[in-house]
């Protein structure tokens, strides 16, 4: 079965690492700070030559200095970008695996599919051409899709994205209900 891939930005959130461009920017900031403040650095006190070619740009003027630890800067930049794009509204981004990572494989897979919004629901499988039938959920109320799976009447309690992110009892009940199907 060929599945639609998860959005790459969501994968960084699930993996607990900042996107590569943010990590590169923070490394450049750290290098600039070292170059300006450590006398043992090979380029300490070096002033870049006047630009001769349009394609060559000096390192120092283009990179902002870093006044905080790299991990703090990475997380702050990542948080700012996530709020701006509103892909997944995670309250505090940290560079660590999302909760539930130590769960059994079926649970972990279902949890991440529900978190990212790319489940193998009846509606999605029909869209991909792998399901021929009625897409109505077993509860009989709505078509079975990711949004419905979180609020289905077969669940003891409606689940939210925050419940899945924290992987609390409500999130666990939701995942347990759907892990055999998605």
What's the CA gap between 149 and 147, in Å, rounded? 6
Residue 87's pLDDT is 46
Q: For residue 112, with 0-12 CB atoms within 10 Å meaning exposed, 13-18 middle and 19 or more buried, which class applies?
A: buried
Average pLDDT, the chain: 83
Q: 10 Å Cβ neighbour count for 162?
A: 13
Q: Where are the domains of the chain?
A: 17-85, 105-178
Could you tell me which of 130, 136, 131, 132 has the C-alpha nearest to residue 154? 136
The list of the chain residues with pLDDT below 50 reads 87-88
Residue 24's pLDDT is 92
Could you tell me which of 2, 1, 17, 14 has the C-alpha nearest to residue 117? 14
Start-to-end CA span in the chain (Å) = 12
What's the CA gap between 160 and 171, in Å, rounded? 8
Residue 117's pLDDT is 82
C-beta separation of 93 from 73 below 8 A: no
């Amino acid at each position: 079965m060929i599945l639609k891939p998860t959005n790459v930005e969501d994968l960084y959130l699930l993996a607990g690492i900042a996107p590569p461009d943010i990590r590169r920017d923070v490394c450049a900031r750290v290098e600039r700070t070292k170059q300006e403040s450590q006398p043992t650095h090979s380029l300490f006190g070096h002033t870049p030559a006047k630009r001769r070619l349009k394609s060559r740009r000096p390192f120092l003027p283009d990179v902002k200095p870093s006044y905080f630890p790299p991990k703090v800067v990475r997380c702050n930049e990542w948080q700012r970008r996530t709020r701006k794009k509103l892909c997944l509204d995670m309250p505090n981004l940290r560079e660590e695996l999302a909760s539930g990572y130590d769960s059994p494989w079926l649970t972990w897979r279902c949890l991440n599919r529900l978190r990212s919004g790319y489940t193998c629901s009846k509606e999605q499988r029909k869209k991909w051409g792998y399901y021929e039938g009625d897409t109505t959920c077993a509860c009989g109320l709505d078509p079975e899709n990711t949004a419905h799976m979180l609020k289905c009447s077969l669940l003891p309690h409606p689940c939210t994205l925050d419940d899945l992110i924290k992987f609390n009892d409500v999130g666990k009940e939701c995942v347990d209900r759907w892990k055999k199907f998605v």
